Amino acid sequence: MEIIYILWLRQIKRYYRSKARIIGSLGQPLLFMIAFGFGFGPIYQKAGGGNYLQFLVPGVIAMSILFSAVFSGLEIIWDRQFGFLKEMLVAPVPRLKIMFGRCLGGATVAVLQGVIVFLLSLLVGFRVDNWLLMPAALGFMFLIALVFTLFGTGIASSMKDVQGFQLIINFLVMPLFFLSGAFFPLTGLPSALKAVMLVNPLSYGVDALRNTLVGLHQLGLVRDFTILSVVVIIFLVVASYLFSKIEA
């Protein structure tokens, strides 16, 4: 357990030492909330959808967690290039514990990033429907973060260069985000597009956050929790296998 705690703490310290990284990671969520929230708000309201900012913010929080979680895998490649990964792998510690400590740290950082975006959303006019459900919202934030930290770790474990990782992640992350229901509801979509969105694990994270924060949902909390938990287990098995085969 000690190595898990050390790596968890290291991930958090590494992130918060970089103030430029923190500030830079808030730019895109703020842009989406202000430009889309207020730009498309009147159109969404005229269409009978209500307050678009209330609909949009949970998706933006999920987006922030997604990006932070997935790109935490990049640090595996950096550690490999600078030799730190080799030092960890030769230590008399199971690789599963090393990977789990890194993933817990990456997921914690992603959740903290989501919380910061949530606090910023309150400044631009977002309002929580029921504060009693806030612990549940934080729990779902952690599930989303864990899913995509494991996802990023699995991809990074099978790659050796930063450029290749960034190309693959950018190719995958944007479709995951845009096809998650963050910008538009799942109802009324073509059946093929809806099927793709229902395969996307982020769709269940967005729906869960929207349910717990503003009381809007399309899939249901039990379904959201079940799917996210199953995906965590699947990604944990896959990432553990790929990390066990990594060569420093």
Domain residue limits at 142: 2-244
Tell me the per-residue pLDDT of 15-55, one tens digit each, with 9 for 90 and over: 666 555 666 667 778 887 887 777 776 776 666 667 888 88
The type of residue at 180 is S
What distance in Å separates the CA atoms of residue 135 and residue 212, rounded to the nearest whole number? 9
What distance in Å separates the CA atoms of residue 145 and residue 67, rounded to the nearest whole number? 9
Reported as a pLDDT band with limits 50, 70 and 90, residue 149 is: very high
Count how many domains the chain has: 1
Q: Token pair 């969404």 is at which residue?
A: 44
Reported as a pLDDT band with limits 50, 70 and 90, residue 141 is: very high
What distance in Å separates the CA atoms of residue 40 and residue 59, rounded to the nearest whole number? 15
**Of 63, 241, 62, the residue nearest 154 (C-alpha):** 241
Q: What is the mean pLDDT of the chain?
A: 82
pLDDT at residue 219 is higher than 80:
yes
Q: Residue 205: its pLDDT value, please?
A: 94
pLDDT at residue 78 is higher than 90:
no
Q: Residue 45: its pLDDT value, please?
A: 67
The answer for residues whose C-beta is within 8 angstroms of residue 43's C-beta and 6 or more apart is 52
SS3 of the chain: the string is CHHHHHHHHHHHHHHHHCHHHHHHHHHHHHHHHHHHHHHCHHHHHHCCCCCHHHHHHHHHHHHHHHHHHHHHHHHHHHHHHHCHHHHHHCCCCCHHHHHHHHHHHHHHHHHHHHHHHHHHHHHCCCCCCCHHHHHHHHHHHHHHHHHHHHHHHHHHHCCCCHHHHHHHHHHHHHHHHHCCCCCCCCCCCCHHHHHHHHHCHHHHHHHHHHHHHHCCCCCCHHHHHHHHHHHHHHHHHHHHHHHHCCCC
The answer for residues whose C-beta is within 8 angstroms of residue 83's C-beta and 6 or more apart is 248
Q: Residue 41: its pLDDT value, please?
A: 67
